[in-house]
Homo-oligomer: A and B are copies of this chain.
């Protein structure tokens, strides 16, 4: 049976492992240390650095596919693995557009996908020109390495903007800016594509962020116009095909009063797809694995009218009540709540787990998932 090597040791790799076991695959992981979320549970753990070519070569040896739980593997190393005959999925020529946001913006524009006005920013002059162009509605971003709100800034004056740009450029950070979008809500259109070109889309999800971090996902996005939903899925399919993406592609979107704009791309299982574990025939983790080994994709039919996912993000402090007792209290109150934990120690704001609830009633699913997650974080009900 196929060997899948996962580079990256977080919860996404961890949840790929459970899907891989059920499929009978032989998974292995490249982890920074034995205590990492994924390293705790894989049977085959290789300790190493994803920025080290020798470590990448070692984990790739004999693997049917090499894939990722993050976007931070040097693109040139991925190319070198490909040149050595390794099946790296997604391929580096696709992954590039999840790694470099300026390249992504340029490519999406070529493809006719809707993106906000944007511009590379390398100087105070660039900053002031762009500030004027968008009427001061500026979102400044690092081209590379950002995630969960890191590498994103919203300067509220020209002075703050230029100061920030000078500081970051001085530190060697490559930047671009785009118009800050006055969105009504955020959506996520997720698809998977395998090497043979088969593509399947999940229902479009509404996502709710806190401090730049996904906190809630609701499937399907409540009240989303069917035509707009189909358009979002259409963008995602088009992007997956045009960029030759393999595996899961998450297209994060801004919904404004009268349009939808592409925000970010991720080429791996995504936080807004965790609901699929308990609300869909095929989870995003299983689908990603099927895609990267070029197996046919599974059904993306939901198994319930609504599924809500709420992240358990570390709170301002860690309550004295042990986690095992918090979980037990949630299970007692809500037998329908599906608790997923990542084996991570407490840190404020850290993604430590999530709760999925499927229900015929959106209101009830949201209420239960929010209350359950709140208790796991705070050891008290809302």
Contact = CB atoms under 8 A, between A and B. Distances in A.
B26 A22 contact: no
A26 B40 contact: yes
A304 interface: yes
Nearest to A282: B335
Copies in the complex: 2
Interface residues of A, number: 48
A193 interface: no
Interface stretch (A181-189, A247-255, A337-345): A337-345
A112 interface: no
Given A42-B43, A336-B299, A290 B18 contact: no
A353 B24 CA distance: 9
A45 B24 CA distance: 18
A124 to B, nearest CB: 48
A23 B341 contact: yes
Nearest to A339: B23
A24 B343 contact: yes
Nearest to A343: B24
Contact of A332 (B23, B40, B296): B296
Which of A24, A293, A327, A341 lies at the interface centre, i.e. has the most chain B CB atoms within 10 A of its CB? A24
Contact of A296 (B23, B39, B335, B358): B335
A298 interface: yes
Given A18-B21, A22-B341, A303-B303, 12 more contacts: A1-B323, A1-B324, A1-B341, A22-B277, A24-B340, A24-B341, A26-B343, A43-B45, A295-B331, A296-B332, A297-B331, A298-B335
Interface of A: 1-2, 14-15, 17-18, 21-24, 26, 39-43, 45, 200, 277-278, 281-282, 290, 293, 295-299, 301, 303-304, 323-324, 327-328, 331-332, 335-336, 338-343, 353, 358
Indicate the member of A22, A282, A299 with the most B CB atoms within 10 Å.
A22
Nearest to A34: B43
Contacts of A335: 200, 281-282, 296-299
A56 to B, nearest CB: 22
Given A43-B40, A281-B358, A336-B301, A331 B21 contact: no
B336 A281 contact: yes
Contacts of A297: 331, 335
10 contacts: A15-B22, A18-B22, A24-B323, A24-B327, A26-B40, A26-B343, A278-B281, A282-B335, A301-B336, A303-B358
Contacts of A277: 22
A324 B301 CA distance: 24
A382 to B, nearest CB: 19
A381 to B, nearest CB: 15
A23 to B, nearest CB: 6
Contacts of A22: 15, 18, 277, 340-341
Contact of A295 (B26, B304, B328): B328
A324 B353 CA distance: 32
A380 to B, nearest CB: 18
A249 B303 CA distance: 27
Contacts of A328: 295-296
Contact of A298 (B21, B42, B331): B331
A343 B24 CA distance: 5
A21 B42 CA distance: 10
Nearest to A323: B1
A40 B39 CA distance: 15
A178 to B, nearest CB: 37
